[in-house]
A and B are shown apart, each in its own frame.
Chain A
Amino acid sequence: MQDNRGTSARERQASALDELAHDTASRQRFLKVMGGAGAAGALGTLLAACGGTRSTQAGTTQATTSSPSARSDLKILQYALTLEHVEADFYSKVLGSGLFKGKALDLLKTINQHEHDHVQTVTATIKKLGGAPAAKPNTRFPLTDARTVLNLASVFENLGAAAYLGQAPKIKSPEVLAAALSIHTVEARHAAALNTMVHKPVTPEGAFAKPASMADVLPKVKPFIAGTTVPRGD
């Protein structure tokens, strides 16, 4: 039951990619999305970028949590944390870019605060369940002009909302579910506001929003995660 923080932080990053790496159906969907023989290499790169392997992951989660339900919820939370880190980092960099002023800047500041709040809460929830929070990935974004940034923000928020919707029915703990749902509709609000700004429909999927699986979401986030990760600095 030794907790070696130095290695465990990296090992646990594997959580977000666990499904993708070791669930055959997910992997097949991923390969279909990525297409062709290059896909396997891309998957390897993504996994390497986020660190860890199944065996170390299983070992660490078993060492820290007792029930299968908690382990399953932890996996989802680590995935959510990775997405929230990407979003929070994105807005931090956007605010630092000096590309915005006025109403757009106000909205981006608010969303930035929300995403950092989400990171904090998801991190705390992971710790409460006995897990070690996934490290913050290194990110890179094309912050070339305001239009590009707003379009990318809209993509992230719609993707984030779909990602939470995809996980909600899999969450075991009512408390974790309640927390995820309260974040889910905030991502939806962000998505609607940004869609409005870039002249996309508020409800692009009509009356019923569509969920997205980990295998759907991770390849879309991958281009914004740099090749190496850094341990979370406290």
Chain B
Amino acid sequence: MSEPELAAPELASVEVHGVTRGAFIVRGVLAASAVYGVGTVAPFVGEALARDGGADVDILNFALTLEYLEADFYQRASGLSGEAASLAKRFGDEEAQHADALRATIGKLGGTPVRKPTFSFPGGGQRAFLKLAQTLEDTGVGAYNGAAPKIRSKEVLAAAGGIVQVEGRHAAAIRLLNGAPPAPLAFDKALDRATVLGAVKPFIKS
């Protein structure tokens, strides 16, 4: 599976060599202006220069940590059978692809991807595995939905959207296996970073 498509493919041709992130973003929006029209992106130029602190990189690195955790969780699965086994395999592959795509995007923005932590998960068989899978997927959905409105770049937002939809699909499928409602609410909750970290901390060893 390939990386998510950029909303503006022209951006892929913008080279970044020894330029500041602000300059990179300005070039990015100028490229985007060719696609969307100058008027639509002009307001973002000033904002990009003002926010040379890597807000998007920060969000992406937070997401990367969660994807590392999810991928690791599924890849360690053992002793599963039936639908649980095939979904764990499929979802593990997809989480790993998310991590790859996030690492690549962080690199494109001139940032440094966070190190992959060491994780540990409780054992306990298929039932316990699926229960924790449900918690992790629901948390992933809330984490992306909480962070996404803070994303500056439309391209990054589009990529994050393509990922969170898949997290929502995972969550629903796992919930069905657990006999839980696939969509417990009409509106998925957005989780703030502290809540998400609290939920995943027990599984991060170092």
Q: Which residues of A contact B (CB under 8 A)?
A: 107, 110-111, 113-114, 117-118, 121, 161, 165, 168-170, 174-175, 177-179, 181-186, 188-193, 195-196, 202-203, 206-211
Q: Is B21 an interface residue (CB 8 A)?
A: no
**CB < 8 Å A-B pair total:** 150
Grouping DSSP codes into helix (H, G, I), strand (E, B) and loop, the A interface class, with mixed when no group exceeds half, is helix
- A199 nearest CB across to chain B (Å): 11
In the bound complex, residues from chain B placing their C-beta under 8 Å from that of A184 are: 161, 164-165, 168
Q: Is the CB of B182 within 8 A of A211?
A: no
Expressed in whole angstroms, the Cα–Cα distance for A107 and B57 within the complex equals 39
| Bound: A185/B93 CA distance, A | 20
How far, in whole Å, are A138 and B176 apart by their CA atoms in the complex? 33
Q: Collect the chain B residues with CB atoms within 8 Å of residue A209's CB.
A: 161-163, 165-166, 169
Please, what's the 1-or-0 string for B1-18, where 1 marks a CB less than 8 Å from any CB in chain A? 111110100000000000
- Asked if B186 contacts A185 (CB within 8 A), the reply is no
The 11 listed contacts between A and B (C-beta, < 8 Å) are: A117-B186, A161-B165, A168-B157, A174-B149, A184-B168, A186-B168, A202-B169, A207-B1, A207-B95, A208-B97, A208-B166
With contact pairs A114-B186, A182-B187, A186-B185 given, residues A169 and B166 touching in the complex (Cβ less than 8 Å): no
Which residues of chain B from 164 to 206 have a CB within 8 Å of any chain A CB?
164-173, 175-176, 181-183, 185-190
- Assess the B169–A203 pair: CB atoms within 8 A: yes
Given the complex of chains A and B, what is the CA–CA distance between A110 and B185 in angstroms?
A: 9
Expressed in whole angstroms, the Cα–Cα distance for A107 and B87 within the complex equals 21
CB distance from A81 to the nearest CB of B (A): 15
Is B141 part of the contact surface with A, judged by Cβ < 8 Å?
yes
B1 touches A189 (CB 8 A): no
B3, A208: Cβ atoms under 8 Å?
Answer: yes
Chain B residues with a Cβ under 8 A of chain A: 1-5, 7, 87, 90, 93-95, 97-98, 101, 141, 144-145, 148-150, 154-155, 157-159, 161-173, 175-176, 181-183, 185-190
Whether B149 pairs with A110 at a CB distance below 8 angstroms is no
Nearest neighbor of B167 in chain A, beta-carbon distance: A185
8 A-B pairs closest in CB distance: A188-B168, A185-B168, A209-B165, A192-B172, A207-B97, A189-B183, A189-B172, A117-B186
Contact A189 B97 (CB under 8 A): no
Complex contact A189–B168 (CB within 8 A):
yes
Q: How far apart are the CA atoms of A175 and B190 in the complex, in Å?
A: 12
Residues of B within 8 A of A188 (CB): 164-166, 168-169, 172
Cα distance, A181 to B149, chains bound together (Å): 9
| B-chain residues with CB within 8 Å of residue A203 when the two chains form the complex | 90, 94, 166, 169-170
A168 to chain B: which residues have CB within 8 Å?
148, 157-158, 161
Contact with B161, one of A117, A169, A174, A202 (Cβ below 8 angstroms): A169
Asked if residues B1 and A113 are in contact (CB atoms below 8 Å), the reply is: no
Q: Is the CB–CB distance between A202 and B186 below 8 Å? A: no
> CB-nearest residue of chain B relative to A191?
B169
Across the interface, which residues of A come within 8 angstroms of B169, CB to CB? 188-189, 191-192, 195, 202-203, 209
